[in-house]
Amino acid sequence: MRRTPALSAALIASLWACDPQADSKYLGEPLVTLRGQVTSSTPLPALEAAMLWQRGAPPSTNDQELATRAPVQTGFPASFTVHLYQPPPARARRTLAPGEVTFARANAGAVPPGVAEEAGVAPAAGPAGGSGGAFGGTVGYGIDALHWVVYLESDVPPQSLTAWWLGTPLKAGFHFLRATPFNPQCFKPGELDACAADLVSRGVPDDGTSAAGTARSYCLAPYRLSLAPPGEQLLLELGTAGLPAAGGSCP
């Protein structure tokens, strides 16, 4: 039987329709890609890099949820690349105050290999044998507390509390931020009052105390956020469980 051009085209189309169009493991295009390094004063244990959504109030790191994990490439320095394919879970989303932009924040962490996705995460700990919490019943190794991945559901208004907290008004989406420890004792005379007055102008109440949710509670927070410089990477220092205290002399 002689095939007509139309019949040949139909046969080709049917064969194409039977072939898989993508690998079953294909997750789509990542929403954000992050690169980093692992450092340790002792030989590295078997580990993977992971992104951990923080479910507690900033800057806490004692209630975490695994988003994704990636292998750590051996060498000097040990390196990794993690991709986020999904937006943050509902349990990690929160606002600083009613009416503010909804956000979620994540830290990179070092975890034992093979940890299941979507696992709950307890406080990070030192290398195996050290003190600290557990990750699905297994000891975790540490986090990068000095870098936050922040997801914003919408654009941040310039004169909002969230814009002050972030260090600048940012657009909706993912942002890579640097968290710098801040010592509230370094406020010079009048600076705390000026900070509180700035937040009052943004709609934050000030009752003269540092009660949670007041202007002075934000001013006295032990950290400050800013956009990380272009090209800066995550840095996992094993044994780190949270934001370090700001000690030493004031700048």
Q: CA neighbours within 13 Å on the CB side: how many for 124?
A: 32
Instruction: Report the alpha-carbon distance of residue 244 to residue 251 in Å, rounded.
Output: 17
Q: CA neighbours within 13 Å on the CB side: how many for 77?
A: 14
Provide the pLDDT for residue 116: 61
Helix (H/G/I), strand (E/B), else coil: 70? strand
Provide the pLDDT for residue 245: 83
Provide the pLDDT for residue 138: 38
Angle at 69 between CA 65 and CA 75, to 5 degrees: 135
Give one DSSP letter per residue of 135-152, joined into a string: ETTEE--EE-TTEEEEEE
Please, which residues have CB within 8 angstroms of residue 207's CB and are 6 or more apart in sequence?
214
**Which of these ranges, 10-24, 32-46, 180-194, has the smallest mean pLDDT?**
10-24
Residue 7 in this model has a pLDDT that exceeds 50:
no
**Which of these ranges, 1-5, 113-117, 183-187, 234-238, has the smallest mean pLDDT?**
1-5
Provide the pLDDT for residue 25: 64
pTM above 0.75, yes or no: yes
In angstroms, the Cα distances linking 45 to 3, 27, 113, 114, 141 are 64, 29, 10, 14, 9
Instruction: Report the alpha-carbon distance of residue 241 to residue 249 in Å, rounded.
Output: 24
Nearest one of 121, 139, 120, 128 to 40, comparing CA atoms: 128
* β-bridge partners, 105: 150
pLDDT band at 75 (very low <50, low <70, confident <90, very high): confident
Strands 223-227 and 173-181 turn out to be: antiparallel
Strands 138-139 and 134-135 turn out to be: antiparallel
**Per residue in 99-111, pLDDT tens?**
999 999 999 999 9
**Per residue in 38-48, pLDDT tens?**
988 888 888 99
